[in-house]
Amino acid sequence: MSTPLAWPLRREYLAPSLTLRGREFAWGARTFIMGIINASPDSFSGDGLGADPAAAARQAAAFEEAGADILDVGGQSSRPGAPVLDAAEEARRVIPCIEAARATSALPISVDTFHAAVADEALRAGADAVNDIWGLRFDDDLPAVVARHGAALIAMHNQRGRAFHDVAADIAAGFRETLAICERSGIPHARVILDPGFGFGWTPGQNLEMLRRLPELWEFRLPLLLGTSRKSTIGLVLDAPVDDRLEGTAASVAVAIAAGADLIRVHDVAAMARVVRVADAIVRANWSPPTSP
């Protein structure tokens, strides 16, 4: 009889599952897929839609059909050196796109923002979660917004501007800071997903080390999200432009799943859904061959 690979620590989650908009995220059962909807004109990945609700609706429907489990809508480019939008401009980009995606798709939606005002408006417009690349350490008002709405939180450790000591230890320290804020603000740990921040303040070598050392973050007993899709480290390894990184993304996704990722954030949902299916069949032993007639 097939059994999953022997990672007993990874099987111990703080909460058995998270339910968003009627969809159960049963951590450990399979890997879940987040589809990226960029409501920005200057995304590093070249897929920015700008403030175009109709395009966001089409992409939401396509991602749902392709196998996404959650949609992530953001208007702030996260590429290094990108100007920080004020909350009003960010809301102008993302709120109509969230409304359009909500009208088109039954999937849960997260808003990719670190502004409390944008998060509040997005959650009222139909979003279910907040994806904060600063792990609640940018806007002091954001934790209260998440708590008041009872939203889920995707909290990234962002290494930008922080002193480096050790990849895994620095991420763990950032996670502890974020979880302490959650405790003070009334955000249950059971509604938190942690993201180690691939590409956010690390060298290419440190990004690759992060994937190798992902099991060191199992101690938090919370689901882990990885966002490696099309990023520059993959481009450097392959010597490939941003529109030619599909196979490199696939390799990083498969390795991340083998190392304990629960949720992957990707641009190419259909292709990565196939990668996830095979990786889960190997790692989680959740596939059985069809019986002969």
Q: Is residue 290 part of a domain?
A: no
Tally of domains in the chain = 1
Percent of the chain whose predicted confidence (pLDDT) is above 70: 91
User: Is residue 12 one of the residues assigned to a domain?
Assistant: no
Q: Is residue 101 part of a domain?
A: yes
In order of 61, 70, 232, the CA distances from 46 in angstroms are 20, 21, 13
Q: Is residue 21 part of a domain?
A: no
The number of residues in the chain equals 293
In which band, very low, low, confident or very high, does the pLDDT at 3 lie, cut at 50, 70 and 90?
Answer: low
At residue 12 the predicted structure's pLDDT band, cuts being 50, 70 and 90, is confident
Q: What is the pLDDT of residue 25?
A: 97
Domain presence at residue 25 = no
Exposure pattern of 261-280 as b/e (b: 16+ CB <10 Å)? bbbbbbbbbebbbebbeebb
- pLDDT band, very low/low/confident/very high, at 46 (cuts 50, 70, 90): very low
Q: Is residue 7 part of a domain?
A: no
20 located within any domain: no
Would 3 be classed as within a structural domain?
no
Using one digit for the tens of pLDDT, what is the confidence trace for 50-60? 668 899 999 99
Residues known to be catalytic = 231, 265
102 vs 83, residue with greater confidence: 102
How far is residue 280 CA from its own chain's centroid?
A: 18
Residue range(s) defining the domain that contains residue 58: 30-283
Is the pLDDT at 77 greater than 80? The verdict is no
The confidence score (pLDDT) of residue 9 equals 43
pLDDT, tens digit (0-9, with 9 covering 90-100), for 139-168: 999 999 999 999 999 999 999 999 999 999
Dihedral sign for Cα atoms in the order 138, 140, 145, 151: positive
What is the edge-to-edge ordering of all strands in the sheet holding 192-195?
192-195, 152-156, 129-132, 109-112, 70-74, 32-38, 263-266, 225-226
Q: Cα–Cα distance between 198 and 75 in angstroms, integer?
A: 19
CA-based nearest residue to 10, from 190, 262, 210, 250? 262
Question: In the prediction, which pLDDT does 11 show?
Answer: 59
Q: What pLDDT is stored for residue 6 in this prediction?
A: 54
pLDDT single digits (tens) 95-147: 999 999 999 999 999 999 999 999 999 999 999 999 999 999 999 999 999 99
How far is 112 from 218, CA to CA, in rounded Å? 24
Q: What is the mean pLDDT of the chain?
A: 91
Evaluate if residue 32 carries a pLDDT over 50: yes
For position 230, what pLDDT does the model report? 94
What are the tens digits of pLDDT across the range 189-239? 999 999 999 999 999 999 999 999 999 999 999 999 999 999 999 999 999
Would you say the C-alpha torsion 15, 159, 162, 154 has a positive or negative sign?
negative
**Alpha-carbon span 293 to 276, nearest angstrom:** 28
Q: How buried is residue 29: exposed, middle or buried, by Cβ count under 10 Å (0-12/13-18/19+)? A: middle
Whether pTM exceeds 0.75: yes
pLDDT at 191: 97
Say whether 286 sits in a helix, a strand or coil.
coil
CATH number for the domain that contains residue 239: 3.20.20.20
Interior CA angle at 146 toward 103 and 178, to 5°? 130
pLDDT at 2 > cutoff 80 = no
Q: Give the lowest-confidence range in 84-98, 109-123, 175-189.
A: 84-98
